[in-house]
Amino acid sequence: MRAYIYDNLPGDQRLPHDSGRAVDVDELRGLGVLYYRFPSLEGVDKLAAERGYKNRDEITVSPEKMGDIYEDKVKMFFNEHLHEDEEIRYIRGGQGYFDVRTRDEDWVRVQLEKDDLLILPAGIYHRFTTDESNYVHAMRLFKEDPKWTPLNRCPQLDDNAVRKEYVGQFLSG
């Protein structure tokens, strides 16, 4: 895992966009973002039991697996959004980027690769993209039945109860 401030320069979203300003694990934790490295599924299984994740599935994001819808899906994943549940991803292969918003509305880009696990708290604005390899294989973990409902950022979302709870816990003060 490597994290840094996104440079906001124009260009393909799959490029690194590294501003040169590193972000460490403690800064991520201050945003509610948790990072783990598990070289085997044993660690993932233990964390899943501790946090009450009962279900999981796997997804491969690549042109080979997704065909003609790949480019549209990658663009859709890159729309700024939040979820009302935690988002948990364990990277089984390939690489990708999760971008999360800071208190100052900057983007932190988190580059994940095989054996990295990232937990995004409910209510955090974020987005996802593959890197230039156009391939990532990820396990998704869920507390209940698998669901993935993105709520795209808009002014009305500021009144969402989950967003308000996130802001109160991690962004105020």
- CA-nearest of 120, 171, 172 to 150 is 120
Question: Does 137 appear as a known binding residue?
Answer: no
Question: Does 83 appear as a known binding residue?
Answer: yes
DSSP-assigned letters across all residues of 68-106: GGHHHHHHHHTS-EE-SS-EEEEEEEEEEEEEEE-TTSP
Q: Is 129 exposed, middle or buried (0-12, 13-18, 19+ CB in 10 A)?
A: buried
Cα dihedral: 136, 3, 9, 60 (round 10): 10
Question: Does 81 appear as a known binding residue?
Answer: yes
Question: Does 126 appear as a known binding residue?
Answer: yes
Annotated binding site for Ni(2+): 81, 83, 87, 126
Annotated binding site for Fe(2+): 81, 83, 87, 126
Annotated binding site: 81, 83, 87, 126
